Each structure stands twice: as C-alpha cells, then as structure tokens.
Amino acid sequence: MFKIPERLKKIYYRQGYRIVGKNQHSAVKICQWTKSALRGGKQCFKQKWYGIQSHRCLQCTAWLSCLNDCLYCWRSFKIPVSTSEVDEPKELIEEMVKQQAVLLSGFKGNAKVERKKWEEALKPNNAALSLIGESLLYPKISSLLEEFHKRHFTTFLVTKGTLPKQLASLTEEPTNIYISLSSPDENTQKLLERPLIKNAWKKQVESLKLMSSFKCRKVIRLTLVKGFNMHSIEKYVKLISLAEPDFIEVKAYMYVGESRKRLPESAMPTMQDVRDFASNLSLATNYKIEDDDVQSRVLLLRR
C-alpha cells in the first residue's frame, strides 16, 4: 500500500485537498465556483455551456500522479503514486462524496448560503475528474465512470492525452471527454509541458486521433500562455482536425498558485489576446465562436 508522506499530506490539507481511499491515490477539493455558487455568486462557465449545476459539482481525481510538469500548472507539487493495490470504484465514490460533505460543512451556517442549495451540494451529481494528476492512470477508470453513471452523475474526464492505450480501452465513455492541448508542436510541448515520459508528443497525436471515434461530447481545451504557445495557428488547426471535437475551449493561463514561481505575470494573456487567438482559429476552421466568460478569460467555439 502506498502512503503519502505526512509532511506532504499536511500541505495538501492546508490547501483544501482531502486524500481519499485506503490506498491514497485519489483526492477531492471544493472548486472555487462551487463555493461561489453556494454563496449566490457567479457560477462556473461549464454550467452555462454544458448544463451542470456548479454547487453540485464534485471536483476530484482518481489518480494523483501526473505525467507532465507543466510550467503553467498552479498545483504546488506532484505526488509519485506507486501502488500495487487500488481502491474499488464504489468505495472511492462513497469516500469522495463523504469528504466533499466534510469540506462543505462550514457553509451550513453561512448567511449567504441557502439551506436548500447547501443540502443539494451534499448530493453532487457531476464528477469533474480534473483536479490534479491523470485519472486515466487509475486501472479501473471505466468501472469508475460506470459506477458514477449508475448513481446518476454526469462525468467530465480531463486528460493530457499521453495515454492513448488507456483511452482506447475505455469501455464506458464519460459525459464529456476533454483533451488538454497546450502545444502546437513537439518543441513547444517539451518547453512548456515538460513531459515526464518518452514519446509524449506521438502519444498525444494518437489520442487526438482516437478522440474522433468517441460518441460522447468531445472538448479540446487550449490553455494559452503568452510568449510560449500562442503561435502556429495552422498547426493547431491540423491537430484539431484529427480529433474532430464538438467544442473548443480557448482559455488564458491564469497567473495563480505555484505557476507564479515559474512564469512571469506577463505570460497571462488578456481577454483581448484570447479573443484574437480564438477569432483567428475560427477563421481557419469550421468552428464558430459561440460564447465567452470574461472573468475566466475563456471563449467557446462550436462546430
């Protein structure tokens, strides 16, 4: 059984994470938009675009380890999970929901929080497998998705696309499959995303090709980092054409968290920068700009 060092676990706890499961390869954390929605504030753009309820979203990961060390990642550190034993999907979901409830307990007495909405939040109905790490590394990811769906959850599975074999072996598709595409070519990927595995670029291209065969809602997420990857539109176009996504999210890198130790504030694009990039992408493809969210600095393109 893998044990996260207590020192690291304490750091995680201070940052609002809760490690879940006896084998400690998974985690949950309350999303800022869940907190905002509970207080009657702004909701996540995914509510407007994909119909989820922000206050009922379970932000989680099935596997803490990541295969990249991206310059723009706001997380503080990576945990190298190595375990021969994994938690069962049913146990994992029950523990995730339980820990979510613990994290939400402090909102019960908040004057800005409606009691009904808080009670609904204790019963999440969307699992955003996007928190940290790479959930496709969890050997029972298909069963986990199936178990979520049995419990009437929608599921958003986010991957960097460096595990095409695992992607191809999914027997249960999520509601949304996301591939995070942050580089137009291999050189940019090595500089910006700093993959920890060999042939990462080849594997990502393979995953993009696989994406076109999925029947669920398919989304490409472009995270723009000024001075690093906002070039070679024509290369992005070719990669997107391989995947044939239903939607493209063009989003600015945000100067937050640990990324501030690796990147200057000038690397964060303005909303106008994002608009210009999205407009050029739209002109070069059959995707049209459908909506935007200024606060999150993101635009949605739809086929």
Q: Mind giving me the DSSP string for 91-147?
A: HHHHHHHHHHHHHHGGGTT-TTS-HHHHHHHTS--EEEE-SSS-GGGSTTHHHHHHH
Indicate whether 53 pLDDT > 70.
yes
Q: What angle, 0 to 180 degrees and rounded to 10, lies between the N-to-C axes of helices 200-211 and 233-243?
A: 50
pLDDT for residue 9: 82
Query: What's the pTM?
Result: 0.95
Instruction: Work out the widest C-alpha separation in the chain, in whole angstroms.
Output: 53
pLDDT for residue 258: 87
Mean pLDDT of 224-229: 98
pLDDT for residue 10: 86
Indicate whether 1 pLDDT > 60.
no
- Residue 197 contacts residue 207 (beta carbons within 8 Å): no
pLDDT for residue 2: 57
Judge: domain 6-302, CATH 3.20.20.70: yes
Mean pLDDT of 34-52: 96
pLDDT in tens, 163-193: 999 999 999 999 999 999 999 999 999 999 9
Domain-wise residue ranges, the chain: 6-302
Q: What is the mean pLDDT of the chain?
A: 95
pLDDT in tens, 234-287: 999 999 999 999 999 999 999 998 899 999 999 999 999 999 999 999 999 999
